[in-house]
Chain A
Amino acid sequence: MEFFLQQFTNGLTVGAIYALIALGYTMVYGVMKLINFAHGELFTLGAFIGYALLVTFGITGRVGLGLGLAISVVLVAGLVGVAGHVLERVAYRPLRHSDRLAAVVSALGASIFLQNAIMLSWGANYRSYSADLLPSVSVSIFGQSFPLLKILIFLTAVVVMLALWLFVHRTRIGMAIRAAAIDQGAAKLMGIDVSSVIAVVFVIGPALGGIAGLIVGLCYGQINFGMGQLYGLKAFTAAIIGGIGNIQGAMVGGLLLGLVEALGAAYISVAWKDALTFVVLIMILVVRPTGLLPERVAEKL
């Protein structure tokens, strides 16, 4: 039982990370019907900006743990958000009226560019967040002990996702985002400036992905310029599982995938952990290509 609960916690943590990244894919897809192939690299950028703040600059030593972490989250989200905005301006906006393939090629190009830019800035070797950055405290729940860090990370991810849900469903801009995702032309007829909706989505999605990168650094320590590929692919899978374009779906898909992976690694085989992801993906694509969430819930975004 204890082993199961541990694996379950691990699954939720990594699932929350997948979910955060998946939200970026799904929001951009929802509005633009475009897979942002550079999204995984924006996630990596988040991990490295976090590294610069927490390790190179040592922000927690200067302003204290709580404040240092809070500043890091805000700065990572902000800077990766800006990077996402620039990406949209440079790589996607000029191609808005060209055919789909041009945008896909541009997305792949942007991904390679970002990956190399990160490698040139921080080197090709693994970097690690210092192990003593966060105190390793455990809390005990029902007589079981859980690492506080993982619980906090899970809670942070849940809070961020709730905030996003409220933003999308309870604000004016959120309503515009949903309308543009359903029918861009009709949204324009309502007087919605679809260009700015796209710009907003290209800030929020990358910001969430950046936070996920920071979390990976804090949680697992090791980061590398190529890390965005596997995480990106898994998060993309999570987005498909939940039904791409669907915000709740990305959250559910991410958590589900995290759990499948952690429990699969524990009870089937660690070596097959990554393969398991793609078995799930293929099964979903065969059985329910529109994603798990039923059509009614699968209100796009």
Chain B
Amino acid sequence: MLELRDVVVAYGGVKALHGVSLTVNEGELVTVLGANGAGKSTSLMAISGLLPLSGGSIWFRGERLDTLKSHEVVRRGITQAPEGRRVFGPMSVEENLRLGAFTRKGFPHRALKRVYELFPRLEERRGQMAGTLSGGEQQMLAIGRALMAEPKLMLLDEPSLGLAPLLVRSIFKTIRSINQSGVTVILVEQNARAALRLASRGYVLDVGRLVLEDSSANLLDNPQVKDAYLGSA
């Protein structure tokens, strides 16, 4: 469904991705792991069309993606809940959600109903300014907003960041149910153990290079991964 071929991305003259290749199949939930600065967010932003490639290409359902503008990428059915949530703070919860459906014609009744079913908390706070929500609620909003366009592929960048363990569990459960409803998901995480339990496969990035690629079960057993990302437990 999605394929990155030798993708190179640089900030100014400094390369952040040195030729990354990965594939995601329809219906999968794939995780991308890596330490701080490994290039996980950079990869997602390149897919979303917010960063230009200096080499390689990105393909989605047989079409070249990296030559498209970011709004055309959303129209193809790829949305993102970015790192740090980036909700529109001075706008209401519902306005944020409606912006998520910006590429859709008409009022997004169906999508809104679905998001409110997934996150009843958002419906309770629909009129509240997004900036006044708690961190967990903002994360729900960021995910809900990314669902509003009824995407085929959803990119989630560290949805567990800064959340209490209980909340992380509930967000991850929701991500699983989103995936089971037919949305393909790329989940970027530092919380490797939880992400690998959710995903079927995983990739490990290290300073801009893919160093490992395997099924989640194998990655969970991999001594290198255990050492670097799962702690000693």
Contact = CB atoms under 8 A, between A and B. Distances in A.
A178 B71 CA distance: 17
Given A175-B95, A185-B50, A190 B89 contact: no
Contacts of A191: 70-71, 74-75, 79, 102-103, 149
Contacts, number: 63
Contact of B50 (A176, A179, A188): A188
A182 B145 contact: no
B88 interface: yes
A88 B149 CA distance: 31
Interface residues of B, number: 26
| A-B CB proximity, top 4 nearest | A191-B74, A299-B90, A191-B103, A188-B70
Interface residues of A, number: 18
Interface of A: 172, 175-176, 178-179, 182-183, 185-193, 299-300
A299 B95 CA distance: 14
A193 B102 CA distance: 10
B128 to A, nearest CB: 12
B88 A189 contact: no
Contact of B91 (A172, A182, A185, A193): A182
A43 to B, nearest CB: 29
Given A183-B88, A191-B149, 15 more contacts: A175-B99, A176-B99, A178-B88, A179-B88, A179-B99, A182-B89, A182-B90, A185-B82, A185-B86, A186-B87, A188-B70, A189-B74, A189-B86, A190-B145, A191-B70
A215 to B, nearest CB: 31
Interface in B79-116: 79-80, 82, 86-91, 95, 98-100, 102-103
A190 B108 CA distance: 14
A299 B98 CA distance: 18
B91 A178 contact: yes
29 contacts: A172-B102, A175-B98, A179-B88, A182-B89, A183-B86, A183-B88, A185-B50, A186-B87, A186-B88, A187-B99, A188-B49, A188-B50, A189-B50, A189-B74, A189-B79, A190-B74, A190-B99, A190-B100, A190-B102, A190-B145, A190-B149, A191-B70, A191-B71, A191-B75, A191-B149, A192-B71, A193-B69, A193-B71, A299-B91
Given A185-B86, A191-B102, A179 B70 contact: no
